[in-house]
Amino acid sequence: MGHLGRRALHGVFLLVGVSVLSFVFFELAPGDFYAGVELNPQISPETLATLRARHGMDRSLPQRYLGWVESVLRGEFGYSLAYNGPVGPLLWPRARNTLVLTGLATLLTWGIAVPLGVWWAARSGRWGDRLCAVGSSVLLTVPDLVLALGLLLVAVRSGAIPTGGMVSPGFEELGAWDKVRDLGAHLLLPVTALVLGSLPVIVRHVRASMVEVLRSPFVRAARGHGIPARRLLFRHALPAAANPLISLFGFSVASLLSMSLLVEVVMSWPGLGPLMLEAILARDLYLILGPVMASTAFLVAGNLLADVLLLAADPRIRERQG
């Protein structure tokens, strides 16, 4: 089995492990979906027992887990008691919205971090180095929640940016270009929060990798041969520093996903974050499992993409695989 095959198999084991642990933790937690109904004196214990038995809540943990696995194979992902229907139709639109948000934020973050980190490394010890160090340190000290609330406050005070939702009322009646503009306006605030929250860490890693490469002998030799600075940085130094950055890409997906769940709740983006919050408050097990498994699947996919990029970027890895 090749490297990518082993990584994919590890991802499958990770998904299974996350699902099992989610079932176990929910079993250890006090109460269930009908815990609040028990306080109603008009509902008898026999009625509650019948409701629990109807939805399989009286079965053992392994039986419930196997039943959930069967529903996953059918694309249902269990039955939501809060929404009185399968979880799958509720999950897919929310997962798509989260993927749009985090995908765009990932592209923008790396698109800004790479040239900024290269520029920062090239000016090590100068005023630009100190300026970038101060700016990144300030952003690192600001909690994600404070950053999201601050941006939301600015948007509310200015009134120039939509402060909630994914589209405006009457979106279906707009033309193609107007739909793109409306969606972009609603994406601006949450994407900005995600980019500002994850940018400092990635920029610092890019700068550290580039500084190490710029001190290597081949870079000094290239400078001695008169290679222009821009070509030296982006054609020679950056590819040599790419391996740790590509590995970092997979981890950045995880951090962006975790941050996006918070940003979605604060800014009313209809993604996995608000759905998971509703499920937790309702103690709806299968509705909780849906966003958890979707987020884990996104994380596995991000790490697999990083492995593919590593194979494409480093011929040494391809030789070892061969």
Structure letter (DSSP) for residue 60: -
Closest CA to 69 of 23, 34, 137: 23
Judgement on whether residues 44 and 130 belong to the same structural domain of the protein: no
Distance, CA of 140 to CA of 175 (rounded, Å): 41
Judgement on whether residues 205 and 280 belong to the same structural domain of the protein: yes
Q: What is the tally of structural domains in the chain?
A: 2
Distance, CA of 1 to CA of 219 (rounded, Å): 38
- pLDDT value, residue 129: 67
CATH code where residue 198 lies: 1.10.3720.10
Judgement on whether residues 37 and 174 belong to the same structural domain of the protein: no
Judgement on whether residues 170 and 308 belong to the same structural domain of the protein: yes
Q: Are 122 and 233 in contact (CB under 8 A)?
A: yes
What amino acid occupies position 182? D
94, two tokens = 């929310």
Prediction pTM value: 0.84
**Residue 157: Cβ within 10 Å count:** 8
- pLDDT value, residue 108: 92
Bridge partners for 79 per DSSP: 86
Q: pLDDT digit string (tens) for 160-219?
A: 788 778 888 877 777 788 888 888 888 888 999 999 888 888 888 888 888 888 888 887
Q: Are 237 and 219 in contact (CB under 8 A)?
A: yes
- pLDDT value, residue 39: 67
pLDDT along the chain (322 residues), means of 10: 76 89 81 70 75 77 87 87 87 90 91 88 73 79 84 83 80 81 87 89 87 82 78 81 81 82 88 88 86 88 82 68 58
- pLDDT value, residue 125: 66
Judgement on whether residues 119 and 249 belong to the same structural domain of the protein: yes
110, two tokens = 């790396």
